[in-house]
Structure 1
Amino acid sequence: MVGAAKIGIGLGVVSILARWVTGNTIFGSPEALVKYGIFGGIGFALMGAFALSMFGLLGRKVRRELSEGMTIGDYMRDKLHPFGYWLMIIILLITTIEAMFVQGMAGGVLLNILFGFPIPLGLLCFFVFCVLFAGIGGIRSIHRFAIVQIVITFAAVILIPVYFFVGKGVEHVYNGLRLYHPYLLVLNNNEGLFFIITGLLIGFGQVFVDQASWQRLYMMEEKKIVPTFLVSGLIFATVPLAFSSLIIIVLFTGGFDDIYSLLFDLVRKIDTMILLVLFVLCAFGAIMSAFGAGLHSMISLMVNNVYQLFRPDASERQKIRLGYILAIAIGALSYGLTIYFQPTLLDLLFFFGIMYASLFLPVVVIVLTKGKAPTFILISAVMGFVAGYSSRMYVDPMMAIWIASLCTALVLTAYLCMTWLWKRYIRTPDHTR
């Protein structure tokens, strides 16, 4: 239930890719391509590649400081004072629900496109299956499925584009894009470049506070952490580019109504049954695996780092029972949110990007701090939340993300400078200066 399993580099890479090749990667990167041109797909690729690679470097320090942990909660309990620890637990709960909310949106949309299910019915089926798969199956079921999922994913992203680009001809596709959608090929697209930079900021925050990534970090030997995350980042970069290229298959033939009509047209254009089945399995596998990883990591966090503090004498049977209850409750909450809110995946990325951009720097400072980290480091992130979400009413969503990040950085820098000055010139006795 709490994921006390050990993995090597090979399974580690597979497990990390299974966590990060998500519904947002499959449907968000094509949406970004349509909105920001070729820089949209590039932004998604760089977002994950750099974040995963850098997290490996941070993760090595984490393991050296606390080698016996299993979750991000274990580490934060060791590094933060009680108020900061519980504040971090609340933030982690919100980010995990958000991640599962995004996957629920992707799952409902996919079922609607493929089978014509009403979105509420599709969401219900999706959530019930994922809760049974991850909440009851545990980390070993997730790892077994991850191997199959990654094989199917890379088969889809290699075979489907090759089939269409060889069949249609690359030059024919390029001429169609120039005719119908020339804006996609513009290189001096300032908004697209701004999306890439903003995406990097969001990506760092997403990976650095992701409970599933921390869980996998603690399943590896220390010497294998950096190469595992580096290889995962390099391989991940190819996936958003491949899914973006699938949308080009539809775009080069004419116009479209919205991103969902594009996806529907894509499914219709895959006229070979084997490739269609491959695409469906790839999409469902990625969404289910990401949801399962997020759900399982949340169960581990709540059982290990919340329930156990209040019930230290709880038996394994009681912990497992609580895990089942949490799996059902979190799945139900995610289902309710997905039914009530139905934004696009890119809208969700920007909305919650404010939170991730604000958390990135404080988490790094907490890890780099020797001993207990001051609670104000985390409070600076909350101040960034407030600034970012308040500014959304007046500025562009991407600008709001930068406002949140800059607010956090300025407050945190001012606090660290004042703390250093206090220790250096005020608290230090004269004879030791």
Structure 2
Amino acid sequence: MAQSAQAAVPIQVLRHQVPLELDQAASSWVLTSTALVLLMTLPGLALFYGGMVRRKNVLATVAQSAASAVVVTLLWFIAGYSLAFGKAASPGLDAVIGGFQALFLDGVRVDTAHSLAKGLPEFLWIAYQMTFAIITPALIAGAFAERMKFSAFLLFVVLWHLIVYAPVCHWVWGGGFLGRAGVLDFAGGAVVHVNSGVAGLVCALVLGPRRGFGRDNLAPHNLVLTMIGASLLWVGWIGFNAGSAWAADGIAAAALISTLIAAAAGGVGWTALEWVERKKPTLLGLVSGAVAGLVAITPAAGFTDPKGGFFIGLIGGAACYGGAVWLKRKLKYDDSLDAFGVHGVGGLVGAILTGLFANAAINPAAEGASVLKQAWGLLAVIAWSGVATYGILWICKLTTGLRVTKDEEIEGLDLTQHGEALHDA
């Protein structure tokens, strides 16, 4: 009798949960995509950024990507997932932030699913979304490479994840006010790229330029590493964009082909302008353009056809060249590795063009897309990311301190922050 009574007790689910209706094909694809997106940070972004700094700062730069993975994984487990994808008790509060029911993943079971992805085990959904949360602050690091204290970076990542990333993620993907308003962001144009790009610009402005900026040779120390990193990003982006269909279906296939075309078009767009202006096409420009095309297609990937992917990538590559070269030259700020120039500008361009190229024949969710809706969503993300990032930097400045000393910067962050350095073979 006791066993029968116990079996009759209904399973209690959290507000965001539904019983799992396992889709094995979708789950297999998202498992694969989770590995691909993690590959984008480790080692993709680490190598991409590590090759672009000077030799005395390469280990410190790679360490920032590794630290982002470590810190954000734990934060996502503790509170980030609950804040981003949980549901608040009040509908009004739920428009801006998730709930606290799933702290430490309490209440998550092998037989539960998130209401947004009923066919995926919730643990898989959590892991996949976590990989997006990991790469976002790692992208910001490109704006202040070679001059921020490692202790400040760690504190910055903790605060930025909880105060900026988790709320913006909820606004767009977790049932918040931007998603409800019809703002389209298939795989992270606003949540990841605009969010990190704007934060990077604020960081670059607050920390100020590297010593010798505009005077000394600050050229990359190893573009082979950057090429390898860009290649890993390109491959990983398949999981980033096609994986965001959360199913092995036609929308995932459309996102895949548009992503690959946009990357190639972005490389053409950037390199064409560089070739005209500088008379020679560079490897750095070619791979930066490909990444720019990938950034630009991210918000539109599952909403547009291949022709849209081509135009978004081409325009995105050209626009990011303008942001990374012309805008930075004009305004004289030191965005070390072009976090804003590529991710901020590319994300903005891609998100706006999503309103123009979104096609309901590809994805019915694109019905009603408009440039105005996209612009409204971008303004909200820009405002919150910019203001909150500025406040977080001041907290860091008053506690850990923000910037290494002049002597430490001259010696290099590898030795002064980590006690390690590259040595000749």
Q: TM-score, normalised by structure 1?
A: 0.26
Question: Which protein has the bigger helix share?
Answer: 1
Whichever of the two has the greater Rg, that structure is 1
Q: TM-score, normalised by structure 2?
A: 0.26
Q: Whose RCO is larger (CA < 8 A, sep 6+)?
A: 1
